[in-house]
């Protein structure tokens, strides 16, 4: 058994790394891609390797000879036209150097080292290594019949806007091909196609023709669920690091604050409604996506009008935000505030914009103490998140109204954050109607829509107040196009789905109570009752700090939770916060928690 490694390309999508380094010499988790490939070949007892060189040929040749001279018999072939040809031409050059069974590998794939051995031992003469297609994969995919035989090959240029990926498998660009297939068909067709048609395309085109003509049977070796990455660009390199370097996962996630679609991850840290948008909403957006991408959204007045339709509130009292955090950032300047009184812990954006905030511990402190402490210290504003993040604690409508009226009489500004009120059920309700009654002109309601409506990627939030001058000032502080057309369209769609939105809140609350019971069954932590779509837990076992537990879950189970100890006054204990996801996801977290403690 021989191997062909295609390594002529310049790796343009990996610039600037490949300005001074061959793409196969790029490291993933401390190991060069080319070394991973050669080590995998050696595990499979493949010691004869044909390498097609091109870009930075001397660099790669010298490295391979120095690192593997005593273990591998190399044949080097130079594609001196690598800048104007594609992998079909490189392969056509290499096929004259083999005549029997061989493994074909492209030099930009990083995978578990046992894969080549499994492929070589796979009981079928012609095989391709694949994995079930997932969003964010790109490149050639194949169709497969019930027996695992490839029945269609679909290169990138055949994947139009209506192409159905749901039943497709992504190729890893690793093949085992038999000597008889090589001699009878493959070599002739590759070389004919290269000479007569095009030398600047992918060899998968020829494989597709062979499959279409039913001239050969190629079976899949399915690696779905296994760890691998085709490293085409810098984003792929980040994903590969995440996959193959577990000890770096937690810090990468904690420092990026999002963008997690790139990673195979179960995210219990960031919070969203798992039951909205519904499939019909997603289908509507998918159908209109191209139109939305090619059009500008409305100005702020138009956005506020659409928000008013959804809230059933006058437009002049509404300001649509590019996420609630945008409004939080504006409040200190618009209200001329430096200090506020708030309960601690609270949403960290308030502590960030009010660094001189006076925080009081809500334990054994009634809600009116927020106003009393503000008056005693000459502070002009109070902040209340209801339900609170991260504790999930919620005050009743009567309690909040009493606070608002007390603050109003004292001339205090109240910033009321209701980002999670939709999940409160009987524990509390929104104060929107009270703020619009004309009696509370010093109160501002701020709310994230992203969390409750399941679309954090769209960045939707709003500010609402009976003080129309504040709303005018906030509108004036925003750019003319403050959100994108996709977010605007989502807001428009909401009017058609009020019943579905309400049902999603109800299902989330039901899941929260079941999840709470599961967490309470563990002896290593104590969950606190919550009126939000997350649950705060205090660790009761000394085996882990919150940070250590969060790291272990990320490294061992691919589960990300929020370590919250630093948000509490010193000495209060160790805390994590977990989002309420689907019952299956929640069960998976509980199992991972048990395993983490059992294995420690």
> Taking the mean position of all CA atoms in its chain, how far away is CA 31?
25
Instruction: Name residue, tokens 């430096």.
Output: 338
Residue that is last in its domain, among 473, 497, 521: 497
Same-domain status, 266 and 213? no
* Contacts by 184-192, CB closer than 8 A, 24 or more apart: 185/210, 185/215, 185/216, 186/95, 186/210, 186/216, 187/95, 187/96, 190/88, 190/91, 190/92, 190/95, 191/92, 191/95
Count of CB atoms within 10 A of residue 539's CB? 21
**How much is the pLDDT for 171?**
87
Residue that is last in its domain, among 497, 518, 535: 497
Spell 185-210 as b/e; 16+ CB within 10 A means b. Answer: bbbebbbebbeeeebebbbbbbbbeb
Same-domain status, 567 and 481? no
Degrees (nearest 5) of the Cα angle 169, 175, 181? 115
Same-domain status, 487 and 515? no
Residue 277, preceding bond cis, omega within 30 degrees? yes
Same-domain status, 456 and 554? no
Inter-axis angle of helices 369-376 and 397-409, to 10 degrees? 20
Task: Measure the CA–CA gap between 71 and 328, rounded to whole angstroms.
Answer: 62
Q: Tell me whether residue 498 is exposed, middle or buried, using C-beta atoms within 10 angstroms of its C-beta: 0 to 12, 13 to 18, 19 or more.
A: exposed
**How much is the pLDDT for 158?**
76
**Strand, coil or helix: what is 11?**
coil
CB distance 546 to 563 below 8 Å: yes
Same-domain status, 338 and 435? yes
Same-domain status, 205 and 286? no
Same-domain status, 176 and 208? yes
Same-domain status, 88 and 62? yes
Q: Looking only at Cα atoms, what is the longest distance across the chain?
A: 92
Q: Which of 239, 206, 37 is nearest to 137 (CA)?
A: 239
Q: Tell me whether residue 245 is exposed, middle or buried, using C-beta atoms within 10 angstroms of its C-beta: 0 to 12, 13 to 18, 19 or more.
A: middle
The pTM score is 0.88
Task: Measure the CA–CA gap between 40 and 579, rounded to whole angstroms.
Answer: 40
| 74 bridge partner residues | 49
Backbone phi and psi for residue 497, each to the nearest 5 degrees, phi listed first: -130, 30
Q: What is the pLDDT along the chain (600 residues), one digit of tens a residue?
A: 999 999 999 988 999 989 999 999 999 999 999 999 999 999 999 999 999 999 999 999 999 999 998 999 999 999 999 888 888 889 889 999 999 999 999 999 999 999 999 999 999 999 999 998 887 677 788 888 999 888 888 887 777 777 888 888 988 889 999 998 888 888 888 888 888 777 777 777 888 788 877 777 889 999 888 889 999 999 899 999 999 999 989 999 999 888 888 888 999 999 999 999 999 999 999 999 999 999 999 999 999 999 999 999 999 999 999 999 999 999 999 999 999 999 999 999 999 999 999 999 888 789 999 999 999 999 999 999 999 999 999 999 999 999 999 999 999 999 999 999 999 998 999 999 999 999 999 999 999 998 899 999 999 999 999 999 999 999 999 999 999 999 999 999 999 999 999 999 999 999 999 999 999 999 999 999 999 999 999 999 999 999 999 999 999 999 999 999 999 988 899 999 999 999 999 999 999 999 999 986
Task: Measure the CA–CA gap between 54 and 68, rounded to whole angstroms.
Answer: 20
Instruction: Enter the DSSP assignment of 95.
Output: G
Same-domain status, 167 and 138? yes
What CATH number should be reported for the domain holding residue 462? 3.40.640.10
Task: Measure the CA–CA gap between 486 and 284, rounded to whole angstroms.
Answer: 11
Torsion of Cα atoms, 166 then 172 then 173 then 174, to 10°: -130
CB distance 449 to 462 below 8 Å: yes
Task: Measure the CA–CA gap between 548 and 237, rounded to whole angstroms.
Answer: 26
Task: Measure the CA–CA gap between 463 and 328, rounded to whole angstroms.
Answer: 9
Q: What are the Cα distances from residue 119, in Å, to 7, 44, 139, 571?
A: 21, 9, 21, 55
Give the containing element (helix H, strand E) for 541: none
Per the structure, how many domains does the chain have?
3
> Taking the mean position of all CA atoms in its chain, how far away is CA 189?
42
Residue that is last in its domain, among 497, 522, 557: 497
What CATH number should be reported for the domain holding residue 218? 3.90.550.10
Q: What are the Cα distances from residue 350, in Å, to 307, 337, 380, 384?
A: 24, 12, 15, 10
Instruction: Enter the DSSP assignment of 56.
Output: B
Instruction: Name residue, tokens 């939770």.
Output: 561
Instruction: Name residue, tokens 């600037």.
Output: 16
**How much is the pLDDT for 156?**
78
Task: Measure the CA–CA gap between 494 and 203, rounded to whole angstroms.
Answer: 47
CB distance 56 to 9 below 8 Å: no
User: CA 91, 82, 40, 209 torsion: positive or negative?
Assistant: negative
Contacts (Cβ under 8 Å, ≥6 apart) of 488: 297, 298, 303, 306
Same-domain status, 176 and 254? no
Q: By residue range, what is the domain housing residue 567? A: 245-273+500-598
Same-domain status, 321 and 453? yes
Degrees (nearest 5) of the Cα angle 258, 227, 243? 35
Same-domain status, 236 and 291? no
Residue 523 token pair: 């002896």
What CATH number should be reported for the domain holding residue 580? 3.90.1150.10
Q: Which of 421, 430, 367 is nearest to 399 (CA)?
A: 367
Task: Measure the CA–CA gap between 121 and 102, rounded to whole angstroms.
Answer: 12
């Amino acid at each position: 058994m021989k191997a062909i490694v295609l390594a002529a390309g310049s790796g343009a999508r990996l610039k600037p790394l490949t300005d001074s380094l061959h793409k196969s010499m790029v490291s993933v988790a401390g190991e060069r891609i080319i070394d991973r490939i050669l080590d995998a070949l050696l595990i499979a007892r493949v010691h004869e390797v044909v390498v097609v060189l091109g870009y930075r040929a001397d660099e790669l040749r010298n490295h391979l000879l120095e690192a593997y001279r005593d273990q591998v018999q190399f044949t080097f072939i130079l594609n001196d036209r690598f800048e104007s040809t594609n992998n079909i031409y490189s392969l056509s050059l290499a096929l004259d150097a083999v005549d029997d069974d061989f493994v074909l590998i492209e030099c930009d794939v990083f995978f578990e080292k046992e894969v080549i051995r499994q492929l070589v031992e796979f009981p079928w003469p012609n095989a391709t290594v694949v994995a079930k297609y997932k969003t964010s994969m790109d490149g050639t995919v194949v169709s497969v019949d019930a027996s695992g035989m490839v029945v269609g090959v679909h290169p990138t240029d055949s994947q139009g806007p209506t192409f159905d990926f749901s039943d497709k498998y992504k190729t890893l660009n690793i093949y085992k091909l038999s000597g008889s297939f090589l001699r009878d068909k493959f070599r002739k067709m590759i070389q004919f196609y290269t000479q007569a048609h095009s030398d600047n395309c992918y060899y998968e085109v020829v494989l597709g023709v062979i499959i279409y003509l039913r001239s050969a049977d190629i079976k899949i070796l399915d690696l779905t669920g296994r760890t691998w990455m085709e490293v085409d660009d810098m984003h792929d390199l980040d994903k590969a690091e995440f996959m193959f370097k577990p000890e770096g996962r937690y810090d990468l996630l904690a420092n990026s604050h999002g963008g997690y679609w790139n990673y195979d991850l179960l995210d219990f840290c960031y919070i969203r409604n798992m039951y909205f948008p519904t499939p019909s909403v997603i289908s509507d957006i998918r159908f209109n996506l191209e139109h939305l991408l090619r059009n500008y959204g409305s100005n702020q007045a138009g956005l506020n009008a659409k928000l008013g339709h959804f809230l059933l509130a006058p437009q002049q009292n509404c300001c649509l935000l590019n996420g609630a955090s945008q409004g939080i950032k504006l409040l200190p300047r618009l209200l001329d505030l430096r200090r506020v009184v708030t309960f601690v812990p609270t949403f960290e954006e308030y502590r960030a914009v009010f660094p001189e905030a006076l925080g009081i511990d809500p334990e054994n402190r009634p809600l009116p103490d927020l106003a009393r402490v503000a008056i005693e210290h000459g502070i002009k504003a109070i902040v209340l998140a209801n339900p609170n993040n991260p504790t999930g604690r919620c005050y009743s409508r009567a309690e909040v109204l009493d606070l608002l009226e007390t603050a109003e009489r004292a001339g205090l500004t109240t910033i009321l954050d209701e980002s999670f009120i939709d999940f409160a059920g009987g524990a509390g309700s929104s104060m929107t109607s009270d703020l619009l009654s004309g009696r509370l002109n010093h109160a501002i309601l701020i709310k994230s829509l992203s969390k409750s409506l399941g679309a954090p990627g769209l960045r939707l939030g709003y500010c609402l107040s009976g003080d129309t001058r504040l709303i005018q000032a906030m509108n004036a502080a925003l750019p003319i196009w403050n959100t994108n057309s996709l977010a605007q369209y989502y807001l428009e769609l909401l009017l058609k789905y009020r019943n579905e939105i309400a049902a999603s809140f109800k299902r989330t609350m039901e899941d929260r109570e079941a999840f709470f019971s599961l967490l309470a069954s563990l002896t290593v932590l104590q969950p606190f009752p919550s009126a939000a779509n997350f649950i705060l837990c205090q660790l009761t076992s000394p085996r882990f700090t919150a940070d250590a537990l969060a790291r272990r879950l990320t490294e061992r189970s691919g589960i990300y939770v929020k370590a919250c100890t630093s948000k509490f006054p010193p000495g209060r204990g160790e805390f994590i916060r977990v989002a309420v996801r689907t019952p299956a996801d929640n069960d998976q977290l509980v199992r991972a928690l048990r395993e983490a403690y059992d294995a420690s």
